[in-house]
Amino acid sequence: MLLTITYTGEHTQELGYLLHKNPARPQEFPLSYGKAYVFYPEVTDQRTTCALLLDIDPIDLARGKAGSTEGGLFDYVNDRPYVSSSFMSTAISRVFGTAMSGRSKERQALADTPLPLTAKIHMLAAPNKNMLAEIFEPLGYATSIETYPNDDKFPAWGESKYVTLTLSATVLLKDLLNHLYVLIPVFDTQKHYYVSAEEIEKLLSHGEGWLKEHPRREYIAGRYLNRRRGYVNQALARLSEDEPESEQEPEAEKKPNLNQTRLQAVLDEALACGAKSVIDMGCGEGNLTRLLLKEKQLTKVAATDVSFSSLERAKEKLKIDRLHETVQEKLSLFQSSLTYRDKRFEGYDCACVVEVVEHMDPPRLEAFARVLFGFSKPGTVVLTTPNIEYNVNYEHMRENALRHGDHRFEWTRAQFKAWAESICGRYGYSVITKEIGENDEATGAPTQMGVFTLCV
């Protein structure tokens, strides 16, 4: 992934002061999935070019960030290392953050002057090439593109959707960087992070002074926010407000992410059933366990997982050694498989099984059901699993893909209900199914939950 910015004119080496990057010294910056390099391939009085090169590790991407339970967002074979995308925006703000804000310690007057600048964005996904002009020309840029055949030897295979885009204008460096930051991911909507409400703030702050007047602002907001209707509407409503946004309630916008919402929903159910003891089955790194340990209502908490390394992480994250003695006594942590009967699963009022069943091979599900509902028999089971119908709302996902590389299946709402009801029939439970997360009218919410109660 490569972005170059060229300044032509006189004393163009000054670009180094504006970008706060010394032309004589190549620099390296760590990013969450690789590295960014900044260097100057040309430095003359009349023409200076600064390059931002990203080296993204496709394996890290597929596996997910170290320490994350969410796992990878992309397949092992992916185009992410080569294509200009949200990674480039993240790198621009990480590496050129001061320049983006328009500040320059040593050359403020130059930072406040429109300069003849050219940006070249290599490999931008543009299935609709006309859109490039529609988006960039209203901002004053002359655009030109280089196209590529899908295959050198077979012209009949047509043109690749990837282009190299050159933008030129006399523009403030700060404006150019903010335009790139917002607009690169508008063309490549496979974000490397889940789009949350915070993205509205980023869009509005980097879009300040130009997005409001842009004839394609709806398209830009829609694509930048991954077509999440609620967010897009909020962003557009704020853009059309006459008054600049005041400082009122900035915190109110901050919604918890799906993971937090899910854990809170599970915790609420575990407490609502009156449980005094809870077992977190397939606890992973212990995110639910941590919440359970804080609850005074609970006198006994267990956490178990088949993965030794997850349990090690859980121990670290829970800071077990440093917990108060009474809390340590409450907790037991052990390795086990949920598909084998185990005495240690018995004696809990409530069992929580959060985002675990979809990791089991379908032929093992019956063994799991027998172990949990047949032998361990807690009074309440709170179980969550993804709703596959919702996946179409994740733009970064390929059609028919599952949310995580280790998922063996994901259920529709009807499939989950059918499975839950079959459990009830066989093991003497009743179930209520609920949805967790933002509810999409057509596809439901991202997570589904079953609250099973043992019939007495």
Instruction: Tell me how far apart the alpha carbons of residues 265 and 432 are, in angstroms, rounded to a whole number.
Output: 14
Q: Are 292 and 354 in contact (CB under 8 A)?
A: no
- CA–CA separation, 379 and 96 (whole Å): 56
Residue ranges in 3-116 assigned as alpha helix (H): 15-19, 58-63, 86-95, 97-100, 108-111
> From residue 61 to residue 100, what is the string marking binding to ligand SAH with x (rule CB under 6 A)?
--------x-------------------------------
H-helix or E-strand spanning residue 224: helix 217-224
Alpha-carbon span 312 to 424, nearest angstrom: 34
Q: Which amino acid is at 185?
A: P
Residue with Cβ nearer ligand SAH (20 or 63): 63
Closer residue to ligand SAH, CB minimum distance, 123 or 275: 275
Element (H, E) at 167: strand 159-171
Q: Say whether residue 306 binds ligand SAH (CB under 6 A).
A: yes
Nearest-10 crossing angle of helices 198-206, 229-239: 40
Stretch that binds ligand SAH, among 10-18, 21-29, 89-97, 336-344 (CB under 6 A): 336-344
**Helix, strand or coil for residue 6?**
strand
Least CB distance to ligand SAH at residue 299 (A): 22
Minimum CB separation of residue 152 from ligand SAH in Å reads: 44
211 part of the interface to ligand SAH, by CB under 6 A? no
Residues 159-178 touching ligand SAH, rule: CB under 6 A, are none
- In the list 169, 356, 436, 445, the residue contacting ligand SAH (rule: CB under 6 A) is 356
Residues 251-290 touching ligand SAH, rule: CB under 6 A, are 282-284, 287
Q: Which is nearer to ligand SAH, 190 or 339 (CB)?
A: 339
- In the complex with ligand SAH, the residue whose CB is nearer, 19 or 266, is 266
With respect to ligand SAH, which residue has the nearer C-beta, 20 or 313? 313
Q: Which is nearer to ligand SAH, 117 or 356 (CB)?
A: 356
Size of the residue set binding ligand SAH (CB under 6 A) = 17
Residue 14 or 305: the one with the smaller Cβ distance to ligand SAH is 305
Per CB under 6 A, the list member of 144, 160, 307, 412 interacting with ligand SAH is 307
Q: For residues 35 and 63, which CB has a smaller minimum distance to ligand SAH in the complex?
A: 63
8 A C-beta contact, residue 319 and residue 103 = no
Q: With left for phi above 0 and alpha for psi between -120 and 50, is residue 378 left, alpha or beta? A: beta
List the one residue from 118, 178, 310, 380 that touches ligand SAH (CB under 6 A): 310
- Residue 215 has phi, psi (to 5 degrees) of -60, -20
Distances, alpha carbon 206 to alpha carbons 101, 199, 328, 393, in Å: 9, 10, 47, 25
Question: According to the binding rule CB under 6 A, does residue 376 interact with ligand SAH?
Answer: no
Q: Does 338 bind ligand SAH (CB under 6 A)?
A: yes
- Cα atoms found within 13 Å of the Cα of residue 386, Cβ hemisphere only: 20
CB atoms within 10 A of CB 365: 17
Six token digits for residue 278: 């809870």
The one among 339, 385, 391, 393 contacting ligand SAH by CB under 6 A: 339
Contact positions vs ligand SAH (CB under 6 A) = 69, 282-284, 287, 305-307, 310, 337-339, 354-356, 359-360
